[in-house]
Structure 1
């Protein structure tokens, strides 16, 4: 049974190495299902001293304020022979010698009540949230450390453990500093479970004082003195057999083994299910990519072609979405043109003002040509806004189609980095096409402003000859009837021009944006990728990835410098694929041990546990 704790330690190490810390992840997690003992206590409650007493070595950092700043997982293994050593997960294969019942403990930061100088105001709540998140897991055994020289009602450890374990079914109470209580007082009621009852008996410990630590009193001497204290104390002698850090370590080890034993069937099922889930994820991710640069480049090109084909199918009507572009030309643009209020430009006052200003000191002879031109310009310039809006609307639709095509391209899901690169390249290309389309569309309006259709106005002098009198005085020509006629003529011309632009603007937008997007959406990406393929060195530094959203909404003009940043090895990386594969290998190595340990408990008979895709003969 002693190897049960070692087995869980092995699974914990596998989880740690593979980044499984019980956090929300796209991959299945085992960490939260593993039994563990979490040590909880306030600052200066003697928590570190209890841990060192259990281990029997000085190894925890000490100091004023908050020293433990994150959970520490301590895995203790009793060795029968050989030299003691310590090993840290972040320094694999490096052994620290000059180091126990089998036990795994998690040292949590000490609870505090006030933020001192140099600490954020949220430190109290942050530590409490961290501790609570760890001990609220149903598989967590809580070791609540409380100092005996303080009122138990004020114990931080008891308070938070009662919140997550109100019945005390998985809480062990440890009372420290019993030897420091005021004379005439004792902790018998607490140790006997009368003051605060838990499912497990309270254990009292006597730790080394700071003076003992300064004098380098070793753990052997400290434990001997602790035993003598309880044996010789008239208040605690009847409890001496179940007091002390040595008894605490043995009891925790025994309880942890029993919990692990009861959890093995569930762990077996969970490991098996996790392997199935991971293999399904691995299957979804597809085959691993070729190792050589040529194979990687070929894979990238094939994936990009699949994405490009999906994008074109949206535009061509094979997939939904392309019809929205037509609705821009058929509904949005005409409605925007119709909403233009030309009558404001052609009001009596404005017509009079522009015609008078256009004459200068020389009165016009037959018709106020410059006045006409200025009136027409003032109307046609307002068409630029609906024209730009049409370009932007089509750009927005094309971006949506890019996102749809990316989500529908299964291969891109297998390569998150490539997905980002392709998305950035496509959006960058659409941005360039939008600028070109906007420039061409506005040129159409400028052309209408720059050269008027003369034939439209030649009928004006003919009408004058038929019914008008060109010899009227200057003031007669500016009467209301005359000005209304000028405004009406300009409005007719502007309406004709609007009708023409209504047909030509969609042609310009389709030619500059839609057609070019179909033809060359990823051309620049391919060009730069081909250049980079000539020298494919390893990507030593992480690739800075531009934020797609920022590029899309125009708030940031940070653009990808593909020529400098593209790395085929980088964009072909699939951390998910590698993580899945490594987790499967680790779990497959754990399952046989789980089966062996479960079989030797005798709790079931010949229960087989077959991995997915494996036969019993393997």
Structure 2
């Protein structure tokens, strides 16, 4: 990122148009459906993100304090205008000229959604700042990466914040502004680490190094700023923000930026690159980067918008027979979509809807789970014959204790059989899990036609999925009860059970030849009853 940043004559309106599109999507509840070009600001707590954004605006307007301060994404739209004021997306028509009130409103709106216990939410706050001091620019300020839960925060707060950040920066159209303090090891930068995960080639990442004035005497970040240490395709820009003492002393931002300029011009390690450092250069650079990025992504975005328009036109044709003056039109529209969902779900299970020629799905997949996957899982539970014989031998010996028995005890039979029956529990539960997973996939597929109404879709999926989960618990309970019933009683009088009476009736012929059944006929016993080896004086079962 060398050389002076040039203007983008004729392209400035791109950012403003994108702002309008972003606002329209947010107000319709479909913002998450479009991968809109934007810049997401990522960094650890106290990395200096807030100071960078305030320097852009030239006003103190962001909440400050200990712990997690930014607890909701803040979509900050900077618009070059001849007068200075701010507007919130959730308060239509109200202009804020006092930026202390802007800070208070951000805090109030954050608490309204997340509560006052330091919780977080991925629902963004939309803030537009009009000022003659800014360039057209849109940034998304994300919560700072943290390690330890504070107050009533959940213990997995680190994972929750990380998941929220990934929700934004994983999108291909999102540029990543990775903010890292210069007085910490760059190799341990949380911002660069998470950027590396989603952008391994570094093509979407812009590095910002803060707190250059706080580095130990005799050290500098020249190798980083010259893009030699951890190279990024878009390079690094250094800035010097106000210290906490300056903020508490209400030091003017204009004076702070003048001091920043003086710092780079006078520092021996940075004076040769002073024209490419500082907040003003960073703002111009981001303006150009975002404008160029929007221009590059416009073809794909246009295709996505046209596809969405066709879907909405299809929905309109579905409801055009409704009387527009009917006060119940919204209710009728929702009922129509829910009835359509019910019909498609039933067809997917019964196989009477659209035929999928690529893979098994719906009822066909559930049928396969019952007749193939479940049988395979049962087969896997079968014990190796040698191992089973060893278990039977141990069971018989342990039941006899110090005595030497002649016949196989009934308890050994019951112990081994119950053990085999109990092994059916795990594959049975896995079968239920697979069926539930497929049912939820069917629900998700059938609600895709509700994508134009995300809240209705979310509510429908939630209700149906919760119902499936309720029945999942009942099903597993009944199946485990059925297995326990089988374990509770062994019916050896059942007609399919081959008892000794049936077995002996076909062996009387041996006695007439002077050979006792127990000595010479044991080898011919069915496997269910095993054989008695008199020479070894061992009794073993085979199942």
1:4 aligns with 2:14: yes
Map of 2:170 onto structure 1: 136
Q: Offset of 1:287 from its aligned partner? A: 3.0
Q: Which has the higher helix share?
A: 1
**Structure 1 residues 273 and 191, CA, compared in 2 at 3 Å: closer, same or farther?**
same
Matched, 1:236 2:270: yes
Q: Describe how 1:150-165 pairs up with structure 2 within 5 A.
A: 150-165=184-199
The alpha carbon displacement at 1:264 in A equals: 2.1
Residue among 266, 289, 297 paired with 1:255: 289
Q: Does 1:148 align with 2:182?
A: yes
Structure 1: distance between partners of 2:332 and 2:282: 59
Check whether the contact 1:179–1:206 (CA below 8 A) recurs between aligned residues: yes
Report what 1:190 is aligned to: 224
Instruction: Answer yes or no: is 1:19 the counterpart of 2:29.
Output: yes
Q: How does 1:151-550 map to 2 (within 5 A)?
A: 151-289=185-323, 291-292=325-326
In the alignment, which of 108, 117, 124 is matched to residue 142 of structure 2? 108
1:261 to partner: Cα distance: 1.3
**1:345-399 deviations in Å (ceiling 9; x for gaps):** xxxxxxxxxxxxxxxxxxxxxxxxxxxxxxxxxxxxxxxxxxxxxxxxxxxxxxx
Residue 297 of structure 1, CA deviation: 13
1:5 Cα deviation from its structure 2 partner: 0.3
The CA deviation string for residues 103-130 of structure 1, in whole angstroms up to 9 with x for no partner, is: 0000000001222343211001110111
CA distance change for structure 1 residues 551 and 231 in 2, over 3 Å: closer, same or farther? closer
Question: Are the structure 2 counterparts of residues 16 and 180 from structure 1 closer, same or farther at C-alpha, using a change threshold of 3 Å?
Answer: same
CA contact (8 A) 1:289 1:299 kept: no
CA-CA distance at 1:137 after TM superposition: 0.5
> 1:551/1:126 Cα in 2 relative to 1: closer, same or farther (>3 Å)?
closer
Deviation, structure 1 residue 135: 0.3
CA drift at 1:284: 2.9
Secondary structure at 1:87's aligned position in 2?
strand
- Residue 76 of structure 2 corresponds to residue 42 of structure 1: no
Runs of 4 or more off by more than 4 Å in structure 1?
A: 295-300, 547-553
Contact 1:186 1:235 in 2 (8 A): yes
Match of 1:94 in 2: 94
- Range with greater deviation from structure 2 (250-259 or 97-106): 97-106
Displacement of 1:274: 1.6
Q: Distance in 2 between matches of 1:233 and 1:287?
A: 73
- Structure 1 position 153, deviation (Å): 1.0
C-alpha distance in structure 1 between counterparts of 2:224 and 2:331, whole Å: 72
Which blocks of at least 5 consecutive residues in structure 2 are unaligned?
Answer: 1-10, 99-130, 344-351, 353-445, 475-543
Q: Please tell me whether the aligned partners of residues 143 and 173 of structure 1 are also in contact (alpha carbons under 8 angstroms).
A: yes
In 2, the alpha carbon distance for the partners of 1:201 and 1:218 equals 29
Relative distance call for 1:120 and 1:550 in structure 2 (3 A) is closer
- Note the alpha carbon deviations across 1:264-321, whole angstroms, 9 max, x for none: 222222222221121012223443345357x879989x99xx99xx9xxxxxxxx9xx
User: Partner of 2:22: helix, strand, or coil?
Assistant: helix
Distance 1:286 1:182, change over 3 A: same
**What do the CA deviations read for 1:529-588 (whole angstroms, capped 9, x no partner)?**
xxxxxxxxxxxxxxx99x9889999x9xxxxxxxxxxxxxxxxxxxxxxxxxxxxxxxxx
Q: Which residue of 2 aligns with 1:330?
A: none
Between the aligned partners of 1:136 and 1:129, the Cα distance in structure 2 is 10
Q: How far apart are the structure 2 equivalents of 1:297 and 1:105?
A: 35
Return closer, same or farther for 1:168/1:551 CA change in 2, 3 Å cut-off: closer
Provide the secondary structure at the position in 2 that maps to 1:94.
Answer: strand
* Of 61, 74, 77, the match for 1:75: 77
Q: Give 1 or 2: higher strand fraction.
A: 2
Secondary structure of 1:174 counterpart = strand
Distance 1:90 1:149, change over 3 A: same
Instruction: Give the secondary-structure state (helix, strand or coil) at the position aligned to 1:183.
Output: coil
Give 1:194 deviation, angstroms: 1.2
Contact 1:48 1:60 in 2 (8 A): yes
* Structure exhibiting the larger radius of gyration computed from Cα positions: 1
Deviations 1:224-248 (A, max 9, x none): 1100000011111001000001100
Structure 2 match to 1:56:
58
- Partner SS state of residue 93, structure 2: coil
Whole-angstrom CA distance in 2 between matches of 1:298 and 1:92: 27
Aligned with 1:120 (options 154, 161, 169): 154
Which range moves more in the overlay, 263-272 or 273-282?
Answer: 263-272
Tell me if structure 1 keeps the 8 A contact 2:37–2:293.
yes
Q: Classify 1:291/1:124 alpha carbon distance in 2 versus 1 (closer, same or farther; 3 Å).
A: same
* Aligned partner of residue 195 in structure 1, secondary structure: coil
How large is the RMSD of aligned CA atoms in angstroms? Answer: 3.5
Listed as ranges, the gaps of 5+ residues in structure 1 are 23-28, 311-318, 320-406, 421-543, 556-618
Q: Pick closer, same or farther for the CA change 1:117–1:240 going to 2, 3 Å.
A: same
Judge conservation of contact 2:173–2:297 (CA < 8 Å) in 1. Answer: no
Q: CA deviation at 1:55?
A: 2.1
Q: CA deviation at 1:50?
A: 1.1
Look up the match of 1:65.
Answer: 67
Q: Is the 8 A contact 2:264 2:277 kept in 1?
A: yes
TM-score (norm: length of structure 1):
0.47
2: CA distance between counterparts of 1:282 and 1:230? 59
Distance 1:292 1:169, change over 3 A: closer
Task: Please say if residues 322 and 329 of structure 2, whose CA atoms lie closer than 8 Å, have aligned partners that are also in contact.
Answer: no
Distance 1:69 1:298 in 2: 35
Cα distance, 1:164–1:55 mapped onto 2, change above 3 Å: same
